[in-house]
Chain A
């Protein structure tokens, strides 16, 4: 890849040009933007459209793509995580949450062969290790309801705050590796082309992956469940994964949905404070 400022060749995984220091590069977006990657996605997409025409569902597929073009990136977290995010602008809280969270060694399993299996999961990535630490994982969704099994708080990302630094991936990336025999010591998995897209082209990726599941009788209301299917267990969840590079704060959010299951389990003071902080910062709080 050539640096857009100095034109020297640089790796797609750097966040600034090592030669001229040009900033603002997002490795995940770079990877999804490579010509060969986009071409492969386009081929899959065209193939899916052709199949749809033959199956008589071209209109339905078009409607589905239009719906996905307006989809959100959503993350499901526990209340504690949401509370930290919502209060991240307080110096008091940022300071002491930071002190409490920092452990040694930081989020790394201990050394020793016994731990290798866990270590491999933690390190498995579509990106280099240095880049992966900056990636937030989300799911693509047509509604503010995320994968609640991971937490009762659905954080709906504000699209303008992530569109430039987000990319989409075919499915849960860890599952992707498992399906291909990865997440086992010594097994190298190569990522095929055409399974990721930029944020703008997420509709194409969704069509390439899911058009075959649409039938003439599929209604718009059913699109949401087709795009993100909640299984009996988290292992059965099926969705398009969103990779967001860089930090997130409460100002990166448009809406937060708090599931009823949160009440009764979380101390009420934390729930109240969460609502106060989100409301104060203009984030819509949606609580059924």
Chain B
């Protein structure tokens, strides 16, 4: 009789036959290599899954080893499929591998069930993604695992409810480990799923240092707890639901990508965040903000520093949607993951408040937005920057001198840095260009070496010295290209605050590409944005959800029937009256002034190659003068301003 120690995790076995030691590797189990006791710590390392067997032949060792290795692979692959942070391409390959292993080693599924029945899935698991990446038996496993989550939760909660006094002679974790590998949680979960009392399982293979009676009392108590406990009410994900993304099916659902929250913009331009937020909330249907912006935007942090902030009220009202990298997570869990991944390096102290605002909302304020295509989409905008001449539309706006001067000054960077970033992205198995690679190469171009500590454009600008203007312009272009590509991927309009003709190259190009059309202009009396800033958050939300909703409906009707323009004029005028009335009521003495609000025409041809500049609505106090300054050719452009000139761009599909 030989002694064998086998680890699936280490993918190896050591066999002792008298004085002889042998080793079998999982990668090539047919080969039996000589070994010795000295190999032990290097073969098994810290593996905790070592099984000790008495065997008659090497074949027995091989069979057990091959099964153990496949179990270990299957567990890793199932976790890769479920992990919310896994790249989609990797998830799909892992799902295929899992299917192969399940088919070739029948015991693998039973092993997976033992492990996954022991605890409910953690917050960073996405069973939805695992389901959609997999086929066949692997998919069936994920479907059933999803269905069993409430029962598994019940079993786990019942385990935790067992009084500690019963464990005086037994280590609680060790007993749970025994139970898991004996399959108790699985049997219990099956019973809980059927809402029947579990049978008391046989206690076999107990370690000699446990008393059978003690273990039996604990397991009996566990069964009693399960029987008493109603199956936990936990929502089972509808796996076939394909409407979890943000891609809006209809025109009226299209949100606006809220560029004012982009941390890049804060370093590059002067933005009045509060004014941007108020005006956008009043006049736009819904704002879309990438989840990371909530944790990194200085504007948002400053805004949240005040009590009862407008942003929190807007989240609760469902007027602001977080575009999330991960499906089914809230602010707190997303923040946790981004911190662990070092995507976020600075702490955000408002995560809990954001989450509380989201929890109060009656609608889902989180929308999963895959970033799989963002690199390629971004690359398309960067390719425009690599052309010999600036985009034609941008040259139509005002004098082209400053733009051409910056175009020449940045020529080396536009060519070499973007090319290097593209190559580096490819090396990292990405597609197109990743923005972080572009920043790395810009840092290297400015400082001479890669500096991993520099993770934002603000840090680089502080170090850039005389190159600041060049850096500012180059990064304004690439950063704006990134916002354009994200808005395009999200099928959103793009709000771009604080317009500067040269820095906002893509907006300028959009303006210059517009056909000569006349927007709808409505003269109304309105309070200034400074007055609106003094209103309570709830007042702004009530205005938007009340009279503002009527205006939004009128816009939708106009889009469907262009001859209903008069309805929009009336609705906008009525809305302005309501805003003014409330402002005067809340702020006695607040002055009203006549402003010309501009409503852009809806896009008639969504497949037009040119970026179309039609915002559907805007807000303005000195619109006429600024528009004419901006576009002397008299072209249409809904430009918004109080203290800053803002534009909204409608991107073609």
Contacts and interface: CB of A to CB of B under 8 A. Distances in A.
Interface residues of A, number: 65
A276 B90 CA distance: 8
A107 B48 contact: yes
B567 interface: no
A19 interface: no
Nearest to B72: A80
B184 interface: no
B107 to A, nearest CB: 14
Interface stretch (A36-44, A211-219, A266-274): A266-274
B448 to A, nearest CB: 20
B3 A103 contact: no
B36 A178 contact: yes
Interface stretch (B120-128, B313-321, B474-482): B120-128
Interface string A165-181: 00000001111001000
Given A80-B10, A80-B76, A100-B75, A265 B177 contact: no
Interface stretch (B93-101, B388-396, B489-497): B93-101
Contacts of B87: 272, 276
A92 B47 contact: no
Interface string A74-92: 0111111101100101111
Contact of A92 (B26, B79, B96): B79
Interface in B1-59: 1, 3, 5, 8-12, 16, 23, 26-28, 33-52, 54
Most central of B8, B72, B119 by chain A CB within 10 Å: B72
B37 A178 contact: yes
Given A234-B39, A234-B42, A109 B79 contact: no
A284 B344 CA distance: 20
A95 B554 CA distance: 53
Nearest to A171: B38
B83 A87 contact: yes
A235 interface: yes
Given A92-B79, A122-B40, A101 B9 contact: yes
Contacts of B8: 80
A245 B208 CA distance: 31
A96 B37 contact: no
A136 B94 contact: no
Most central of A99, A105, A281 by chain B CB within 10 Å: A99
Interface stretch (A50-58, A65-73, A113-121, A222-230): A113-121
Given A106-B174, A178-B36, A273-B80, A100 B94 contact: no
B50 A102 contact: no
Nearest to B181: A103
A121 B48 CA distance: 16
A79 B10 CA distance: 9
Nearest to B87: A276
B182 to A, nearest CB: 9
Interface in A134-176: 136-137, 147, 150, 172-175
A121 B208 contact: no
B428 interface: yes
A23 interface: no
Nearest to A95: B122
Contacts of A89: 340
Contact of A101 (B49, B69, B86, B208): B49
Contacts of B11: 78-80
Contacts of A235: 34-36, 38-39
A59 to B, nearest CB: 33
A275 interface: yes
B77 A269 contact: yes
A97 interface: yes
A118 B48 contact: no
A272 B122 CA distance: 23
Interface in A235-277: 235, 261, 265-270, 272-273, 275-276
Contacts of B119: 95-96, 99
A174 B90 contact: no
Contacts of A276: 86-87, 90, 429
Nearest to A93: B79
Contacts of A136: 45-46
Contacts of A99: 115, 118-119, 177, 180
A187 interface: no
B354 to A, nearest CB: 21
Contacts of A121: 37, 40
A92 B45 contact: no
Nearest to B42: A150
B49 A174 contact: no
A279 interface: yes
Contacts of A233: 33-35
Contacts of B223: none
Contacts of A280: 341-342
Contacts of A270: 73, 76-77, 80, 94, 97
A183 B452 contact: no
A269 to B, nearest CB: 3
B116 A114 contact: no
Given A96-B116, A279-B428, A174 B97 contact: no
B45 A77 contact: yes
B160 to A, nearest CB: 14
Contact of B121 (A92, A172, A174, A273): A92
Nearest to B10: A78
Contacts of B27: 261, 265
Contacts of B77: 267, 269-270
B34 A104 contact: no
B385 interface: no
Contacts of A172: 38, 42
A243 to B, nearest CB: 10
B379 to A, nearest CB: 20
B85 interface: yes
A78 B597 CA distance: 67
Contacts of B307: none
A221 interface: no
B75 A118 contact: no
Interface in B483-541: none
A139 to B, nearest CB: 9
B42 A101 contact: no
A18 interface: no
A282 interface: yes
B207 A105 contact: yes
B42 A118 contact: no
Most central of B3, B76, B96, B429 by chain A CB within 10 Å: B76
B144 interface: no
B173 interface: yes
B62 to A, nearest CB: 15
Nearest to B121: A92
Contacts of B125: 92
B82 interface: yes
A111 interface: yes
Contacts of A122: 40
A21 interface: no
Given A103-B49, A103-B51, 8 more contacts: A90-B340, A91-B124, A101-B47, A174-B40, A233-B35, A269-B93, A272-B90, A276-B429
Give the top 9 A-B pairs by smallest Cβ distance, nearest first: A269-B94, A102-B177, A267-B97, A174-B38, A101-B48, A121-B37, A175-B38, A269-B97, A269-B93
17 contacts: A83-B76, A90-B79, A90-B124, A96-B75, A99-B177, A99-B180, A114-B1, A117-B16, A118-B16, A267-B100, A269-B77, A269-B90, A269-B97, A272-B90, A272-B93, A276-B86, A281-B341
Interface of A: 75-81, 83-84, 87, 89-93, 95-97, 99-107, 109-111, 114-115, 117-118, 121-122, 124, 136-137, 147, 150, 172-175, 178, 183, 233-235, 261, 265-270, 272-273, 275-276, 279-282
